[in-house]
Structure 1
């Protein structure tokens, strides 16, 4: 499966009656298993579109590909308080793209007629697995098509009377009805893409569970940082690590009362900050600032940032870079730092792993445990991409 993750707050889930009694078995027609090739093709289609959505989301803001009432209906279905409804669009639309002859409104092969098929098998073998891999973003149901809301032959107005949530049932009817009526693979793909975009947006709200290691050695802490920062993130991971380290140092040694930061996508000017991080005393004075650079530091970057910092009369400035000073600019940067010292500014430039190794040794093991927890807090509070949050969780689990 492409990208995925574990999440922020749990979203409210609807309470539904589940199958399990002998009477249920009599009322529910036995599933007729969908052909293996249908399941395999549906899985490939879902994974492919999901991968595209995830890649687009990391590069820019997701742009809706539908509009108007149809867009609102897709959103209502994917975010429905009726848990089973959330599985319907990914299941029915992936199956329709895998086999255009299917009636995407059909839930049970026993319905009969043109295009009838067993959607339950596709749901269980494709979408439930997708949901589990992505930290139960749809609700974690092991058999969504066995729950009462979907124990009907098809998604249509005929069965609205058997639904408690008639509004969201109508939304499902509208979307699947439009897809079936159009009979266009391109349109079906567009609707499925929109549905998966809504799933991705749900994903951003889900809380990732971060393991709490009992012991954290210095080598282990630096090792997981090295692994975490090795992946490209547009500076998001580095900012979270730098912010966490600054926060723990401030608390443990009483250096300042608060660390202020913005989201990775926010320009410093828009947040009112003079750098990526401002460390502020109890009296509101900026004690030091930290500028984070996910590549190496160049003379151009130092000059432009120092112009902003001078206005706030901050004397202690850290440049924390992924790779230190650019080799071609090293002499110019060091000369500029010397001039800034004469002007009353102490400028420190270091790579993040060197800084972390020194700081984490001074903090000791209790401080290291606090630090690894704080990284997770930073990733959650500032809504870092689920891929980054999940990566940190996995690394903590390896300790």
Structure 2
């Protein structure tokens, strides 16, 4: 690639611009800074989506272009073949990350967002390997549309930055003031979960709760973005390509999987879990024992685990619930919401959704 395609973005200039435009957007009674309706709505969609890395890519791109109009919105690395390539990671980690930390961590509070897979390509492209292809396509199309409109002289890069900053003002700050009384105390949440799991809900309740716990735990403990997927409890393995009832992805790569059983564990179900782990080349697999062991089979299960060519970890629901002890109060509130979201994703029975809503609201309204 010719070096003529590469441009520089002055971090100090970008920082001053970001502070100035943030103050402006917050002081004005205005919500529309660009004429193009599609650009306005797609900016809001990307920033409100669960895919954190795409939020950072979008905001960083609008800041870079507003600082140096020679930048191409879709460029992520100086090695990109796009005319207007630049080192987006340097700008993000030097300017955007510390700015976001000082302004409510509304994008997600990631300390190094550009180490995640979606940001490690040379440019945003529909050809990039991605698990969430629709979300990637949306970001690509938005960035390219902004590039085209600026090139045509229809839109101004600074106004696009202002529109993006306005959309950020509409996001909830993640930094909350200290309150002496917890809004989601562990004992209250534990009681709600225990009550909820007294009924299996035809196998739907425990997987949703476990998925919510895992998403909450990794949101709290991990520096990189994890994605938790929950399979509907009653999907036959014959029709499912999933590695387990719950799958955990990091940078779009499958890292862990879990089998969740609300019935007594059997030797055959453990063997099946080991086989699924082997098929998906997982060195570690978690088997959630929701209702103990079938009579007379515990010793056989322990032998299967001992002889398995991988590490099979047994956990019961009490151990998983206890993980909510090590997260913050706000994270437990996040957990209450995520269980409801997983029930929706799993297309769970309405009775299971309604009962969870009832219990979650009882915690939040105490």
Q: Give the alignment's TM-score, normalised by structure 1.
A: 0.43
Instruction: Decide which structure has the larger Cα Rg and report it.
Output: 1
Name the structure with the higher helix share: 1
